[in-house]
Amino acid sequence: MDMERLLQDVADDVRQSLGTGKVADYIPALAQVPPNQFGLAIACLDGRHASVGDADQPFSIQSISKVFTLAMVLSGRGPLVWDRVGREPSGTPFNSIVQLEHESGVPRNPLINAGAIVVTDHLIGGSSADDAVDRLVAFMRARSGSNSIGVDQQVARSESETGSRNRSLAHFMASFSNLRNPVETVLSAYFRQCALALSCRQLAQAGLFLANKGRDPQTDEMVVAPDQCRRINAVMMTCGHYDGSGDFAFRVGFPGKSGVGGGILAIVPGEASIAVWSPRLNRSGTSWTGSQALERLAARTGWSVFG
Ligand code: GLU
């Protein structure tokens, strides 16, 4: 398969949908991103790479960061985190608080905001928010093979200034003793992880260990054990798009995680890691054109975890 050709064909397939959907507007830094951009990049396990469109333009990865903090936690004192966060789809929006009361402060899964806040608390452990962010940035640089990756401080500040809902989630969990560090410590790291900026090319490379049973093919490092890698992919499949997760599984058929910056990371186990970015979102907060592109790519390649 000619990957450059494939991506070009997919880009042509979705060009007419670029005006559909709404850019995230809860912070100016996201609201001001030119909305009709589109980038797509693929990194294959056999070493092939390809990209098309705005694939070198860094964007705010937002909730895609939740996959990487989960991987870091599962590679360390991992299994313990499952006492504090579940692995069921939520069927609710990314920042919903309603289930937390019914379920005693234990979030449904690590890919909704409440769950990711718990994972970040776990990642901080007995260290500091700055130390956790430094480790995360180092992790992303190692996975992507790019030392230019960092936190967009302007986005991070705006996240914090508009973070009332995330503060509510965190305080609510703290009231059930499901946070070990102070709320502001945890959120200071969480807001910065959301503000990590990567291009599609960097993100596709960074996700490749998830297509390779946990081993980074670039560095040959075992990032997470194979069984943990399967679990991360399972959670992405079932929970990666909030209340749009079922539809994404139905239409695309492999694990993915969206962010409100318009990026999606998708993993085809045994084959490839794919990153797509287009800022306009659907009602679940997933890139409209990005998910269309992945649907087209799945149709053109026949790739699916469902056979
Ligand atoms: N920064 C956003 C929040 O925490 C991330 C949401 C998303 O990307 O889905 O609310």
For residue 53, give the CATH number of its domain: 3.40.710.10
Catalytic residue among 60, 90, 242, 278: 242
Is 220 contained in some domain? yes
What CA–CA distance (Å, rounded) separates 49 from 145?
Answer: 14
Is 306 contained in some domain? no
**pLDDT value at residue 78:** 62
213 is catalytic: no
Our count of domains for the chain comes to 1
Is 307 contained in some domain? no
Any ligand 1 atom below 6 A from CB of 285: yes
Is 183 contained in some domain? yes
**pLDDT value at residue 97:** 87
190 is catalytic: yes
Is 121 contained in some domain? yes
Is 26 contained in some domain? yes
Name which residue sits closest to atom 3 of ligand 1, judged by CA: 113
**pLDDT value at residue 129:** 98
**pLDDT value at residue 192:** 98
**pLDDT value at residue 95:** 82
Q: Which residue range(s) make up the domain with 254?
A: 3-301
Any ligand 1 atom below 6 A from CB of 95: yes
Ligand 1 mean position, distance from CA 301 (Å)? 31
**pLDDT value at residue 254:** 97
Is 91 contained in some domain? yes
242 is catalytic: yes
Is 145 contained in some domain? yes
Residues of the chain falling short of pLDDT 70: 77-78
